[in-house]
Chain A
Amino acid sequence: MNKQEFTQQVMEAENSLYRVARTLSANESDCEDAVQQAILTAYDKLDNLRNEKFFKTWLTRILINECYKIRRKSGFVISFEDYTADIPSEVKIDNELRDAVFRLPIKLRSVIVLYYIEGYSVEETAYMLKLPQGTVKSRLHKARKLLKTMLDDEI
């Protein structure tokens, strides 16, 4: 994959990268830092990508790693209000669901965003989070249960 193809593939994945990074970052600024670093890291390690077909999954895995690194540095004691303060809130946005997702612990939030919002399979989600598939399934189960409680059995 050359520089031009890399750029093209990143641009195609941009919206998905934003949603994943924003869900795992404390604010827009951390989200932007994470994606910038992920792009540079991915390009530097492009030789490690075995199959270009899996570029987006591979890049997302690097992005998640960068998000966690930034969280570790900043201490990650972040209130729910801080998490959602600067997310653009349009009328068409399902604020109730969004707020519920952001109230989930980070471990559960990450599986929800990858599996439900981005539509990855359990296998892909497990790869990106470096978890066994069984752990992903049990976290999805726990997350659904919590969301159900928060959303008054509407889920």
Chain B
Amino acid sequence: MQKHDWNKIFDERPEEFHECVKSALAQLPDKEEINMKKSFGKKFAVVVAAVAAISVTAVGAGKIVSTSSGMNINDVVDTVEKTEEQDKDAGIEINIIDKFDNGYTFKEGYVGDVDHWDDSGNKVATTKNLSATYVLGDASVYLDADQKNDESEYVDYVLEENYDGTDIYTYEWTNKFVPADYEMTEQDKIDEAEGKVVFSYGSDEVEVNEIKTVKFVKDNTQVTLMDMDSNVDMGELVNMLKTVIDAQ
């Protein structure tokens, strides 16, 4: 270039622009908050997809086809004591373990509402849900306690054993966590139709997880432990659930 100068196309950025940048930076949450929200968000997306795919939960005349939960990050607490306070207030009478024998330790807990929707788009029930995350290194196991509807029933759960009078059920499935705008391949459609894969939406990238869950029911509450990262096998997960049963 002979007469013109690329460096003189713009002046310094305007003050208004600078204020916008400052404003965006001031809104940034702490990284810990983001990780927490992502962790709960992923777990909940997987559970929601499973409810739609494998359950025949019914309330009244209609089959429940989906669930949803609004989550306020400020309600997440970081001790067993605070979580138990929350769950008692919500009417979920569950004692929470601080640490399992295999090293998984309580990290955070949250109690919130879960809305249940039927296939006509009607909200048919709202129940309370307790979620707690246990960590060992980078691995997590999730405990959920949900108020159980009398008529609800999950298909495909297998009765694993009766432990001191309490039935323990297990279920495993493959979950494909995909971005919201993900377009299914032909193979995806076949896998979903054959029940080989459950799809959940909302991830940044496609992620395939082998999900393992174990559960028992106490009074009106269904307690589930879930592993999404294949870090514990089913036998270990069952043993963890027995520890929860013992604590009741």
A14, A101, A155: the one contacting B18 at CB < 8 Å is A14
Q: Closest B-chain residue to A88, C-beta based?
A: B11
What residues on A are CB-neighbors of B4 within 8 Å? 94, 96-97, 151, 154-155
Which of A2-10, A67-75, A124-132, A134-142 lies at the binding interface?
A2-10
Q: Closest A-chain residue to B21, C-beta based?
A: A14
The number of inter-chain residue pairs (CB within 8 angstroms) is 91
Q: How many Å lie between the Cα of A11 and that of B42 in the bound state? A: 32
Say how far A19's CB is from chain B's closest CB, in angstroms: 5
Q: Are B21 and A11 in contact (CB under 8 A)?
A: yes
Say how far B138's CB is from chain A's closest CB, in angstroms: 12
Say how far A22's CB is from chain B's closest CB, in angstroms: 7
Q: How many Å lie between the Cα of A14 and that of B12 in the bound state? A: 10
Interface of A is mostly: helix
Q: How many Å lie between the Cα of A9 and that of B174 in the bound state? A: 40
12 A-B residue pairs with Cβ-Cβ distance under 8 Å, sorted by A, are: A2-B31, A10-B25, A14-B21, A28-B16, A31-B17, A35-B17, A43-B28, A88-B11, A90-B11, A92-B11, A97-B4, A116-B6
For A, the interface residue count at a CB cutoff of 8 angstroms equals 39
| B positions within 8 Å CB-CB of A | 1-14, 16-18, 20-21, 23-25, 27-28, 30-31, 34, 204
Contact A36 B23, CB 8 Å, known A46-B31, A90-B11, A93-B10 = yes
Q: Are B13 and A18 in contact (CB under 8 A)?
A: yes
Say how far B203's CB is from chain A's closest CB, in angstroms: 12
Say how far A143's CB is from chain B's closest CB, in angstroms: 12
Q: Are B11 and A117 in contact (CB under 8 A)?
A: no
Q: Closest B-chain residue to A98, C-beta based?
A: B9
B5, B16, B31: the one contacting A97 at CB < 8 Å is B5
Q: How many Å lie between the Cα of A45 and that of B29 in the bound state? A: 13
What residues on B are CB-neighbors of A92 within 8 Å? 8, 11
Q: Are B9 and A97 in contact (CB under 8 A)?
A: yes
A7, A32, A45, A48: the one contacting B16 at CB < 8 Å is A32
A40 at the interface (CB under 8 A from B): yes
Q: Are A45 and B17 in contact (CB under 8 A)?
A: no
17 extra interface residue pairs, beta carbon distance < 8 Å, beyond A32-B20, A39-B21, A94-B4? A3-B28, A11-B21, A11-B25, A18-B14, A19-B9, A19-B13, A22-B10, A31-B17, A35-B17, A36-B21, A40-B27, A43-B28, A88-B11, A94-B8, A97-B9, A117-B7, A155-B1
